[in-house]
Amino acid sequence: MRNFGTSTTGVEGVLLTDDPYITIHDSLSDFGDIASGDTANNATDPFSIEAALSAPQGHIADFTFVASYSVKQSDTSHFSLCIGKYNYFVWDPTPDQSSGPVIDATLRSLGYSGCYAQTLPITKLDNYIAVFVSVGIYPSNYIIGNGSTEATALVNFLNNGGRMYLEGGDVWYYDPPTGYDFGPLFGINATADGSSDLATILGQSGTFTTGMSFNYSGENDWIDHISPTGSGFLIFRNSSPVYDCGVANDAGTYKTVGVSFEFAGLVDGAPPSTKEALADSIMHFLGPPGVEEEPASDMKRPEIYKLSRNYPNPFSNETTFKYTLPKASRVKVSLYDVSGRCVKRLVNETQTPGYYTVRLDGQNLKAGIYFIKLESDDITLSRKCIIVR
């Protein structure tokens, strides 16, 4: 919360909703004193809310937040949250729809949840963790116009912490400046308009494409040459003639993958050189990190041990949860099945006081009820989670 007015004291917040799928267990929170122009958060006194298991995936819940301060003064704001974000959205606006449906089918076969369409849901991109965009190869390509609502929506999605995959033969070098130049956001330096010479596409050692090699049989005209710049790193290179054709980028607040070929044109070979393995690797790269400590620059040290509910829940592939440590502790975080058997050890180390986030990968686990257990010193906390198939 940022104070744009004069300094104030005793700021308190109340969270309200009449959404039938939402239960607010703790609607009150203390933000303390906030100086003019300063910010504050409720990390030590968070709201506690729960979404019903019956909530449809992608359901939008509306909330009202009332901040009260000083003497009988208050401000009211409104916001919405998406319950159970979809893993992906595939947008293919090209005339021939050659690659988008293949991307969608591959992700679905891997168990990811998502949607496919020929039009971009401009106002609903935040309902998805990752957006996959296929703009095709000349002459069956689509240009995302510079200044278009589509370009603006995609840029805003990334700048708000989104993840994005973009493929196209001309989108990097030939289309700009008439088309939007995505290169800087993707850590890509487009070096040439290219020709019709994609042959064998080689993954790069030390990246999530290590050991991959694909013969290419897709559309193959004017393939842009692209190389990494800034925080971008090379993930694919054409074999002969040699040029770069795939770049991934971890910009910190967002992640991207950009290629100048079509996913559908990749010919499956021996593992890991399959479209399924590549799609899964891209999703894992784009997805949230495994375990990380939250930035503590503007947070107070936690006062209690706390284990949050996982989100989403139920889940099929991945879910995340958080916990807090008020002091340095030997921490074990594990996943148990209903019989009490430990099926996955997530954390087993000494950690400093702070706020932690854990990503739980449940892809290789059977559907059913499980329990996340946090053990630290003489404290044991647990939460129930559900895996569905």
* 342 band by pLDDT with thresholds 50, 70 and 90: confident
* 107 band by pLDDT with thresholds 50, 70 and 90: very high
Identify whether residues 282 and 146 lie together within a single domain. yes
Identify whether residues 243 and 300 lie together within a single domain. no
Final residue before a domain boundary, out of 16, 49, 83: 83
Identify whether residues 32 and 179 lie together within a single domain. no
Identify whether residues 269 and 355 lie together within a single domain. no
Q: What is the CATH number of the domain that holds 131?
A: 3.40.50.880
CA distance 42 to 63: 17
CA distance 385 to 372: 7
Q: What is the pLDDT of residues 187-217, one digit of tens each?
A: 999 999 999 999 999 999 989 999 999 999 9
Identify whether residues 154 and 295 lie together within a single domain. no
CB-CB contact of 335 with 343 (8 Å): yes
HEC assignment per residue over 190-253? EEECCCCCCCEEEECCCCCCCCCEEEECCCCCCCCEEEECCCEEEEEEECCCCEEEEEEEECCC
Q: What is the pLDDT of residue 145?
A: 98
Identify whether residues 131 and 253 lie together within a single domain. yes
Identify whether residues 221 and 92 lie together within a single domain. yes
Q: What is the pLDDT of residues 52-72, one digit of tens each?
A: 878 887 788 899 999 888 766
Q: Which one has a higher pLDDT value, 269 or 50?
A: 269
Identify whether residues 54 and 148 lie together within a single domain. no
Identify whether residues 261 and 373 lie together within a single domain. no
Average pLDDT over residues 16-39: 89
Could you give the number of structural domains in the chain?
3
Q: Which domain holds residue 351?
A: 290-389
Final residue before a domain boundary, out of 286, 303, 334: 286
